[in-house]
Structure 1
Amino acid sequence: MEVTVSIVIPVRLAQATIRATLQSAIAQAREAGGEVIAAVWSGDPSFEIVKSMAESESILRVIAAEQRCGVPQLRRDGVRAARAPQVVITEDHCIFPGGWLAGLLAAEGDVRGGGVRNGRRGYAGWAQFFTRYNAFLPPVGKGPARHLPGNNACYLSHLLESRSIDEGFWEAEFNRELLHRGARFFMDPALTVEQRQQRDWLEFVWLRYRHGRCYGGRRGGSRLGGLLRAPLIPAILLLRNARAAFGKRYHRGWFIVTTPLLFVYILAWSAGEIAGYLSGPGDSCRNTD
């Protein structure tokens, strides 16, 4: 039987969330005649959960990485294992509303997606949410877009046949490449997913540092120019976050009270970005979400 859509889920340190995410994805894939692909390092604490679910769910395929790696590499592995003409990329801590997958498949454009709302309550949960998803706070506008979130996007499979993802799939970089190739992006607020990532506040500090270092180390152009702009990074990022939260009127109270921790996360990213400019990414790109 032909597979209509592949849902790719990179799995990393997701013991608390992966079961619910897979159950949600499998239910939607079954209705659409699709498959779910979970890409996970065989030594990850989440691996046994994924493996046990695959034993009882025929539409769940497990792609096991032999070496420790980060989400960009797992995402790449899942994409390259996909067999369907349309490929949805999401993450290991998301829950999907009814009709989400059908809506993605029916939407306009070559790449389609929606917003991200917060499903992890509490101080650290809100601070981490605003840090990661400020560009995709609900309600997103309906219509043409220039970027989509890494946990809520559907691609025509032929667009993913690119050597540029050999080292990993970084959605921001790859989406810019697709725009230059003439791909049409479309955003729909009805396709918003809920994220529930579980990271404690200190773990997230180091995660943001590594992510920032990977970004700085991989970024093209003049590293000297990046270093000269570095003192402005925290202010720019905080302003960008505030503009998104207040512009969307999305839980502004939580944004205000979590600003101190949010700023810590911004400083961690900024320090990592500077380290990337100075000494390259190191192993940070293979040790991040």
Structure 2
Amino acid sequence: MPSRDRPDALAACLRALEAQDATSFEVVVVDDGSTDADAVARVVEGADRARLVRGEGRGPAAARNLGARAARGPVVCLTDDDCRPGPGWVAALAAALADGADVVAGPTRNGRPGVAVAAASQAVTNHLTDASADGRGHVGFAPTSNVAARREVLAAHPFDEDYPLAAGEDREWCARLAADGIALTWVPEAGVDHHQDLDLVRFWRQQQRYGRGAHRVHAGTEGRRLQPPSFYRDLVHRGFGEGGRAGALVLLAQVATATGVAREAWAARRR
């Protein structure tokens, strides 16, 4: 679990992990360059199963790789510090891997259903996951808030550390897995609640980052292509299903994403 300057959120996540039904697991927290490293260390010290690994502030992709290398078990589960896994999360993911899957993923739910920006943000991410489902129990994309892999699979397919932001690195990783014939098995029982601390400004910046990451993915692993018009139509419909404000924010997210794509395209040309 990468973490940076969110000790309160981290503490809530660690409490959720301490309440897991599974008994044989460890928690590796990678502090990705927090300005108040002592605060993060105190939180980790207060959790029985957790241990701390110091990162260099190079972003979540590098932090996840560092944590995976530090992990001792044959299965590596990934989540984020603003998530709260359900009690059966570890057991459900581990059971699916024991049944023969190489990489598994579960649903990430909005943990703040009364907050429009959180509902809109989660709608955007979940729509991308749902649209990638093949109807046979696999998805082409899942965010790293809720995935797990066999240790050797993750070692052979590390996250691309050239992605410095929390944007696009998970899509690139999933696309690379698919290119190597590795499917993400869907585990509906392994749910986590995502407690995003967003306001309008942070939401705009988040969606811009997603646009920048998407440009890098499209220009690299996936090739340059847009989703079909039905994808965006259904996304907007899904947003308004969360309420009028959430729907309007999903529309705004498309503008922010397009702005991020344009910014990254310009930056790439200058490079």
Both structures adopt the same fold (TM-score exceeding 0.5): yes
Tell me the alpha carbon deviations over residues 253-276 of structure 1, each in whole angstroms, 9 at most, x when there is no partner: 424432222222221111111221
**Conserved? CA contact 1:16–1:198, under 8 Å:** no
Give the direction of change, closer, same or farther, for the CA distance of 1:146–1:131 in structure 2 (3 Å limit). closer
Give the direction of change, closer, same or farther, for the CA distance of 1:119–1:110 in structure 2 (3 Å limit). same
Higher mean C-alpha deviation, range 143-152 or range 32-41: 143-152
The aligned residue for residue 148 of structure 1 is 142
SS at match of 2:31: strand
* Residue from 116, 125, 133 that aligns with 1:132: 125
Q: Please give the alpha-carbon distance, in whole angstroms, between the structure 2 residues aligned to 1:164 and 1:122.
A: 34
The aligned residue for residue 34 of structure 1 is 25
Q: Please give the alpha-carbon distance, in whole angstroms, between the structure 2 residues aligned to 1:70 and 1:237.
A: 29
* Residue from 155, 159, 162 that aligns with 1:165: 159
AA aligned opposite 2:105: G
AA aligned opposite 2:248: P
User: How much does 1:43 deviate?
Assistant: 2.9
Q: Please give the alpha-carbon distance, in whole angstroms, between the structure 2 residues aligned to 1:234 and 1:50.
A: 43
* Residue from 250, 265, 268 that aligns with 1:262: 250
Matched, 1:52 2:42: yes
Tell me the alpha carbon deviations over residues 171-210 of structure 1, each in whole angstroms, 9 at most, x when there is no partner: 2222222223232421122212111111222022122213
* Residue from 10, 14, 18 that aligns with 2:6: 14
User: How much does 1:98 deviate?
Assistant: 2.1
* Residue from 81, 94, 97 that aligns with 1:92: 81
AA aligned opposite 1:125: A
- Give the TM-score normalised by structure 2: 0.80
Name the Cα RMSD after superposition: 3.2
User: How much does 1:87 deviate?
Assistant: 0.4
Matched, 1:79 2:68: yes
| Count of aligned residue pairs for this structure pair | 258
AA aligned opposite 2:179: H
AA aligned opposite 1:267: V
Q: 4+ residue runs of structure 1 moved beyond 4 angstroms?
A: 232-237
Q: Please give the alpha-carbon distance, in whole angstroms, between the structure 2 residues aligned to 1:184 and 1:221.
A: 20
Unaligned ranges ≥5, structure 1? 1-8, 247-251, 283-289
Between the two proteins, what is the percent identity of the paired residues? 25
**Conserved? CA contact 2:125–2:143, under 8 Å:** no
